[in-house]
Structure 1
Amino acid sequence: MSNDRSPAPTVLIAVATFNEIDNLPLLVAEILEAVPDADILVVDDDSPDGTGRWCQEFAATESRLSCLHRSRGAGLGTAVIAAMRYAVEQEYDLMVNLDADFSHTPQKIVDLLAVAKTSDVDVAVGSRYVPSGGVYGWPLHRRLMSRGINLYTRVLLRLPVRDCSGSFRCYRVATLARLDFDQIISKGYSFFEEILWRLRLAGATFREVPYVYVERERGYSKINWREAVKALYLIARLGLGSIFGSAPRQSAQ
């Protein structure tokens, strides 16, 4: 009797880090327990607190962990692009991106993978803004700001998801391979809106998976008002540029 079952999809879990030594060892342990068949890639931007050094030392004893070391200040968006390029080059089937600060619970990776493995969607989007999703630990002004930015993004970029700014997602790598990463202009947090926009233009399909965002307990957030203003400006450039046929195509910001 022949076995016609297809092999299980290969999965890469990508984590971008800068000064996350208080979180990364615990996070890697929980990811390995939650998804033991997956590999982990840490993209570290020369963290002065030893995050990259710890990763390199642990990777020497754990075959499922790999590290990419980059220069400091290169930007979160370019770190995720580096992970996407790695996933394409190594021919993974799925790539999950999550933050290093436990705002995305590693156990919820299973929910994203369940959708990606059992459907034809190209991006399973971890969503705070669908039923059963939510945010824990944010003050009211931050909740309102996030809701406003997501509405602004949905309208300008015509995205079919409610949570456009979150980074907790599972991407089908074959779909990522259709993109020209050199056209992506965002280096910072607005990358997460821009990549959805470019995937939509490439014909990708999306499904939102509820999760509850939990504010970090250790370390400090890297986002600031300057980064938020840059994101709003970039989203406007992309949205209005596509309407008038002049969307930016060169690296900027």
Structure 2
Amino acid sequence: MHALVAILSVLFNNGLVIWGLGWDGWSGPTALAIYWGENAIGTIFIALRIWLHRGLTRKRGHYRNHLGLQVSGDGADKIKSITDRSFLAEYLTTSVVFTLAHGVFVLAIFALIFKAAPDDDTMRWALLAIGLSQLFGFLFDLVGLRSRSFAWLKLVAGRGLARVLVVQLAIIFGMALAALTGHNAAFGIPFAGLKLLVDLGAALATEKPPQSDEGPRWLMGIMKKCFPKVDFASDLRVERAKYRREMADDEVPQK
């Protein structure tokens, strides 16, 4: 049921923008601003899920890093002291930093590439609708949250970060397409379709561990022919066994 709600939310949020671009005359800046706002709203609700789940379950997975966050430069030690051994802090640091950086780039795109601003009225009602959709999903997830696995929670966080990545792609390719075509909505429909596919793929993903240590035979065959000196099948078995052990340990309550 949770997967169905996630899929319906994806279809609504993405369908709204696709409808706006295709039939209601939304501009590229308006769509991009709404997608950025969706990321910001999603970050808040995902962080709340993590915080509440940690308080209810105290599972070990909450007290270790999972996203591979790498920090360097001035202040790196201070940031690491905050994010180390805290999945919530690691997620928030990753998502907030990228979202804020995207906000700066989005403003620059509006001024330098699109040379147009998003429509304020459209942004307000669209973000309100998306926010209500995400609020419904959040409230639905609260039902039985104590019994949900940490693997599920990590999957939810991964969905949010996938959206952040797609917005990054929109910024890069949106600038290029707008500059080449001279139309600020040129990137809209292709990007909206890409985001819909990515969001659906994330919503359909499962938190269950791999059922087998063996990879697809056809893929292993290709890898063997391309790299005959590397035993990919053996490496995959080792990695999957390690992954299952880590997943099991994540579910153990912290003492």
TM-score, length-normalised on structure 1? 0.23
Q: TM-score, length-normalised on structure 2?
A: 0.23
Higher relative contact order, chain-length normalized (CA < 8 Å, sep 6+): 2
Q: Which has the higher strand share?
A: 1
The structure whose residues are more often helix, as a share, is: 2
| Bigger Rg over Cα | 2
